[in-house]
């Protein structure tokens, strides 16, 4: 029997059973590392590993042919030197997190539009104040940077809630989910920012996305605009964003990702005006549906792998996602 290691703390007994049955059907013996993660020394035994991305683990995995990351973002493990052979396959779990992150984006967008951070602070102090002005997803113009599973799932919800327009921005202009009214290329981003009221960023960390929302582009957004980032903190010029918020050149922002994480105690982001911070929780695996999809995606690709078919969630290591 061929050897498979499953190293993930979030799996329930039900998920282990599903993986075990699929593995057996595919000719694999699975070993589960749930409470204590697989060590780099142990990793040497396995042909296939499904788990959290770890550079040390990959360096130790000298029999590896396929690593499936249970996270969506794999930017930490794309350099070739981590793999003992260039043809080791790398897949990610982008697609498992769209649902939970889309609900997070919907929530923080409404919280910013409806001034909930201020309202909750008032309530904490038992002050009974009304909210002087609110906004709405209904009738708003939304631009979504990144049209993958996350961006698409959010776009569908925004359209259902009556957004006037939902634009998608991706590397190349090409057909996309019908939830998007129109797709623009990254080169066209600056041209739609001036009419964007809600900018949602759901991009992987790659060379191309680093600093994509730079100082110049932040300045193109209207004063009433909101910025929501659930991708990677590197996509935003944080200094420029903090300045724009503190000077009321933007109405608000919600960051679930930032640089660095965790945020140090003395970081100025903690005290930035109209900024809603969450500690990288938009996509975590605490939603049962997310784990179900994660396991389901791995099992389907395990069947593909065993049958010699191409893997669905293959990462292009040079591109970074």
Q: Which residues sit at the interface with a second copy, rule CB under 8 A?
A: 99-100, 103-104, 106-107, 110-111, 113-114, 116-117, 119-120, 122-123, 126, 128-139, 156-157, 160-162, 261-263, 265, 270, 277-279, 281, 284, 286-287, 289
Task: For the CB of residue 41, give the shortest distance to a second copy in the complex, in Å.
Answer: 28
What's the CA angle centered on 142, arms 140 and 143, to 5 degrees? 165
Task: For the CB of residue 183, give the shortest distance to a second copy in the complex, in Å.
Answer: 21
- Specify the residue, 64 or 228, whose C-beta has the smaller distance to a second copy: 228
Task: For the CB of residue 141, give the shortest distance to a second copy in the complex, in Å.
Answer: 14
- Specify the residue, 130 or 318, whose C-beta has the smaller distance to a second copy: 130
- Specify the residue, 21 or 261, whose C-beta has the smaller distance to a second copy: 261
- Specify the residue, 27 or 279, whose C-beta has the smaller distance to a second copy: 279
Side by side, the strands of the sheet bearing 89-91 are 28-33, 2-7, 48-51, 66-69, 89-91
Element at 199 (helix H, strand E): strand 198-201
Write phi, then psi, for 317 (nearest 5 degrees): -65, -30
Instruction: Read off the DSSP letter of residue 282.
Output: T
Determine how many CB atoms are found less than 10 A away from the CB of residue 317: 18
**Rounded Cα gap, residues 98 and 154, in angstroms:** 8
- Specify the residue, 133 or 307, whose C-beta has the smaller distance to a second copy: 133
Omega cis (within 30) before 262: yes
**Rounded Cα gap, residues 198 and 244, in angstroms:** 15
Element at 17 (helix H, strand E): helix 13-25
Task: For the CB of residue 159, give the shortest distance to a second copy in the complex, in Å.
Answer: 8
Task: For the CB of residue 265, give the shortest distance to a second copy in the complex, in Å.
Answer: 6
Task: For the CB of residue 156, give the shortest distance to a second copy in the complex, in Å.
Answer: 7
**Rounded Cα gap, residues 296 and 288, in angstroms:** 12
- Specify the residue, 56 or 134, whose C-beta has the smaller distance to a second copy: 134
């Amino acid at each position: 029997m061929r050897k498979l290691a499953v190293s993930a703390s979030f799996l329930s007994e039900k998920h282990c059973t599903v993986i075990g049955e699929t593995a057996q059907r595919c000719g694999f013996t699975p070993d589960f590392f749930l409470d204590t993660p697989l060590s780099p020394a142990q990793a040497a035994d396995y042909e296939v590993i499904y788990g959290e991305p770890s550079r040390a683990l990959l360096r130790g995995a000298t029999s590896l042919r396929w690593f499936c990351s249970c996270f969506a973002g794999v930017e930490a493990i794309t350099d070739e030197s981590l793999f003992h052979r260039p043809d080791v396959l790398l897949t990610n779990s982008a697609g498992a997190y769209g649902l939970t992150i889309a609900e997070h984006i919907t929530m923080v967008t409404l919280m910013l539009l409806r001034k909930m951070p201020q309202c909750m602070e008032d309530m904490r102090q038992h002050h009974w104040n009304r909210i002087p002005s609110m906004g709405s997803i209904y009738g708003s113009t939304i631009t979504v940077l990144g049209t993958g599973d996350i961006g698409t799932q959010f776009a569908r919800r925004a359209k259902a809630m009556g957004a006037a327009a939902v634009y998608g921005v991706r590397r190349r202009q090409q057909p996309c989910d019908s939830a998007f009214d129109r797709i623009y290329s990254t080169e066209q981003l600056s041209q739609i920012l001036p009419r964007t009221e809600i900018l949602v960023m759901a991009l992987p960390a790659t060379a191309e996305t680093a600093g994509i929302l730079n100082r110049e582009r932040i300045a193109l957004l209207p004063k009433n605009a909101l910025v929501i980032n659930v991708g990677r903190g590197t996509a935003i010029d944080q200094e420029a964003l903090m300045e724009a918020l503190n000077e009321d050149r933007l109405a608000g922002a919600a960051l679930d990702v930032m640089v660095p994480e965790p945020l140090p105690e003395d970081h100025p982001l903690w005290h930035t005006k109209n900024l809603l911070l969450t500690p990288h929780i938009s996509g975590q695996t605490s939603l049962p549906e997310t784990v179900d999809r994660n396991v389901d995606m791995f099992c389907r690709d395990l069947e593909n792998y065993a049958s010699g078919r191409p893997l669905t969630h293959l990462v292009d290591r040079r591109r970074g996602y």
